[in-house]
Amino acid sequence: MASLMKARTIVAGNWKMHTDLDEARKLMEALAGWSKAGRSDVQMIVAPPYPFLATAVDRASASAGTGRNSSIIIAAQNCHEEEQGAFTGEVSVRMLKSLGVDACIVGHSERRQYYGETDTIVGRKVALLLKHGLQPIYCCGERREEREDGRYRDVVSAQLHEALGALTPGEVAKVIVAYEPVWAIGTGLTATPEQAQEVHGFIRGELRLLAGEAASAIPILYGGSCKPENAAGIFAGSDINGGLIGGAALVADSFIELMRIAQQVKSSS
Ligand code: PEP
């Protein structure tokens, strides 16, 4: 029997290590101005660099209107897996919470590649975020050689089970998952709509093993060179609930256009 539960649609922007304070303010200003009018059922999430989180939280709460999804969720791009301690330069979940940050990206492939993050570490971050009531956005995805030799399903399955396997089904149901094939991130190469839907459907099945029927309502976002020119085809996938956007999130018009496309595609499906 088909489940009646449906995942909400989300467009999330990961600004990575881009912008200075002035640019971050302007970008937030443009997004908040658009969002305030409550034109969309699509949830906007914005993940600025750490130093600009407080500014982004202030701007988002000042502009939260009363229309449809007029509120912007502010996310961090990372957090530490320990509660607190002697970890110079790191940022804790409690710090993020005290700033009014509501969500956090974890397990991004750049964190895995450049900072040696494993799924064990990422799983601890997910658990800590849930403990403090923040929304984890868990990233997974295969590297190019793993796609080419056909191992991509095994890789993604292992990532999901290692990072989320120790959680209760109810906790898994609270996670947002982002499928981001590493070969498509920042490269201009995008998964075809068919490739993306195939993996998203597979991820939904794996999430069902971890969360039961509640998996139907877990948002699974696609990430990897997604932009207004290719988003409509990708967002149309039945298990694709929006996108995690890098480069195109740095230009207000492109990001807003992606919000519009997500709204159009999902309201016609
Ligand atoms: C990302 O880093 O999460 C991402 C999807 O980047 P881009 O859109 O630039 O490929």
Is 180 tagged catalytic? Answer: yes
CB 235, CB 269: distance < 8 Å:
no
Q: Is the pLDDT of residue 3 over 70?
A: no
Rounded-to-10 torsion of CA 147, 150, 156, 158? -130
Split into its structural domains, the chain has a count of 1
Among 4-8, 32-36, 51-55, 184-188, name the one with the lowest average pLDDT: 4-8
pLDDT in tens, 117-160: 999 999 999 999 999 999 999 999 999 999 999 999 999 999 99
pLDDT band with cut points at 50, 70 and 90 for residue 76:
very high
pLDDT for position 136: 98
Give 5 Cα–ligand 1 centroid separation in angstroms. 28
Q: Whose CA is nearest to atom 6 of ligand 1?
A: 246
Q: Is the pLDDT of residue 231 over 70?
A: yes
CA angle 114, 117, 123 (to 5 degrees): 155
pTM for this model (two decimals): 0.96
Kindly report the backbone phi and psi dihedral angles of residue 103, in degrees, each rounded to the nearest multiple of 5, phi listed first: -150, 165
Q: Whose CA is nearest to atom 3 of ligand 1?
A: 246
Domain range spanning residue 233? 2-268
Report the length, in residues, of the chain: 269
3-state secondary structure of 180: coil
* Residue 123: CATH number of its domain: 3.20.20.70
pLDDT band with cut points at 50, 70 and 90 for residue 40:
confident
Give the DSSP letter of residue 99: H
CB 113, CB 145: distance < 8 Å:
no
80, 81, 108, 117: the catalytic one is: 108
pLDDT for position 1: 39
